[in-house]
């Protein structure tokens, strides 16, 4: 259930509500752009464009879907538009991303490196599997919701997920085995 | 952020935890930098709306007299006479004294033009 007061404040175009929206969803939008292969400085530009587009189209948001899903859809299309305009088709998808240094001392080093290996493996998947994997595993979206965000058939999402999972199992096999041995 | 500790035998859980625990670096002033751009966007939208109203008003001021001239030039004479007579009849009903046909026509045309202009102007001002 969305926070209706906050949504109303957004519709009234209150800047405080917009700042709250950015705080709530900036990580999600940055993840979307990063996983689609945008460089660090491009991620910030596209994320800004995404939030400005959101601000512009708030009056047309009918609240039938969740704000998060709506934002994913806009972020995905903005990132894809950017990639189509800026990158020639021959160049393909470029993977680069700035990872936040691990400052959480309570977090075991092995966990941090394991997470980064997983993230890198997901990013190396062929386009657009990384986004499908992120939406399914990280954001816990259903197949229908992913299909709606990416504007593709549900069966295609299932195929992407299956293939991505198989590929990841192959590339993360050693990591998985090491983890099992540790127990 | 909560760090998930997955069951190492469960590949899906390992994947889920790995992805959930990963954080992307968001510049701390990202939201602050966005607000001025939002304000600029609002200002530009308001300016565009004002300009559009100005253009509509200008178009009305030019097109309305042209429409009157076109009507006066191209309307069939019979219809014109009937229309003039009808308007004159209405005008006469409000006036105790009769006036010349040309004067009546001029007064009614100017009044109608002013009325239409006033209506369009007030509509544009409200919207």
Q: Is residue B2 part of a domain?
A: no
- More confident: A77 or A62: A77
In this complex, is the C-beta atom of B36 within 8 Å of any C-beta atom belonging to chain A? no
Tell me the CA distances in angstroms from A125 to A37, B31, B84, one per residue in order. 11, 31, 80
- ipTM reported for the complex, 2 dp: 0.73
What is the pLDDT averaged over residues A4-26? 84
Beta-carbon contacts of residue B19 (< 8 Å; ≥ 6 apart): A115, A118, A119, A122, A133, A134, A137, A138
Q: Is residue B4 part of a domain?
A: no
Least CB-CB distance to A22: which of B1, B25, B30?
B30
Cβ contacts (< 8 Å) between A119 and chain B: which residues? 18-19, 22
Q: What DSSP designation does A59 have? A: G
Q: In this predicted model, what pLDDT tens digit does every residue of B2-47 receive, in sequence order?
A: 555 556 567 888 888 888 888 888 888 888 888 888 888 888 888 9
- Is residue A175 predicted with pLDDT exceeding 90? no
Q: Is residue B17 part of a domain?
A: yes
Counting one residue from chain A and one from chain B, the pairs whose CB atoms sit within 8 A come to 109
**Selected residue of B5, B6, B12, B21 to mutate for chain A interface (largest A Cβ count, 10 A):** B21
pLDDT of residue A118: 87
Q: How far apart are CA A50 and CA A71, in angstroms?
A: 8
Cβ contacts (< 8 Å) between A114 and chain B: which residues? 18
Number of domains forming the structure of chain B: 1
Domain around B39: 11-126
The CA distance from A159 to the nearest CA of chain B, in Å, is 16
Instruction: Show the domains of chain A with their CATH numbers.
Output: 1-98 (1.10.1740.10), 101-183 (1.10.10.10)
Give the chain A residue nearest B40 (alpha carbons).
A52
Contact B101, B80 (CB under 8 A): no
Q: Is residue B108 part of a domain?
A: yes
Q: Is residue B72 part of a domain?
A: yes
Strand intervals (E) in chain B? none
pTM over the 0.80 mark: no
Whether residues A48 and B5 touch (CB distance < 8 A) is answered with no
pLDDT of residue A101: 38
- What integer best gives the mean pLDDT of chain B? 78
Q: Is A99 helix (H, G, I), strand (E, B) or coil?
A: strand
**Backbone dihedral angles phi then psi of residue B62, each to the nearest 5 degrees:** -85, -45
pLDDT of residue A99: 38
**Neighbouring-strand partners of residue A99:** B24
Q: Which two tokens stand for residue A68?
A: 């998060």
Give the chain B residue nearest A98 (alpha carbons).
B25
Least CB-CB distance to B35: which of A19, A31, A122?
A19
């Amino acid at each position: 259930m969305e926070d209706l007061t906050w949504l109303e404040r957004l519709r009234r175009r209150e800047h405080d509500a917009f700042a709250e929206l950015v705080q709530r969803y900036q990580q999600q939008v940055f993840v979307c752009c990063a996983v689609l292969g945008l460089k660090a400085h491009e991620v910030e530009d596209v994320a800004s464009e995404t939030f400005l587009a959101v601000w512009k189209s708030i009056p047309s948001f009918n609240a039938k879907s969740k704000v998060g899903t709506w934002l994913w859809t806009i972020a995905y299309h903005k990132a894809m538009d950017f990639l189509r305009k800026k990158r020639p088709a021959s160049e393909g998808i470029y993977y680069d991303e700035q990872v936040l240094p691990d400052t959480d001392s309570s977090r075991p080093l092995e966990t941090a490196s394991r997470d980064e290996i997983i993230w890198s493996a997901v990013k190396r998947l062929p386009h657009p599997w990384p986004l499908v994997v992120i939406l399914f595993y990280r954001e816990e979206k259903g197949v229908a919701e992913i299909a709606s965000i990416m504007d593709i058939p549900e069966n295609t999402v299932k195929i992407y997920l299956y293939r991505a999972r198989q590929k990841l199992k192959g590339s993360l096999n050693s990591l998985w085995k090491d983890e099992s041995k540790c127990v | 952020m909560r760090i998930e500790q997955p069951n190492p035998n469960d590949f899906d859980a390992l994947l889920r935890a790995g992805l959930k625990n990963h954080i992307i670096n968001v510049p701390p002033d990202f939201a602050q930098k966005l607000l001025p751009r939002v304000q600029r966007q609002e200002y530009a939208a308001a300016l565009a709306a004002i300009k559009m109203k100005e253009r509509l008003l200008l178009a009305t001021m030019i097109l309305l007299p042209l429409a009157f001239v076109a009507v006066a030039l191209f309307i069939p004479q019979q219809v014109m006479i009937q229309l003039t007579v009808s308007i004159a009849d209405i005008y006469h009903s409000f006036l105790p004294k009769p006036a010349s046909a040309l004067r009546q026509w001029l007064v009614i045309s100017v009044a109608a033009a002013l009325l239409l202009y006033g209506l369009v102007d007030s509509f544009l001002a409200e919207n």
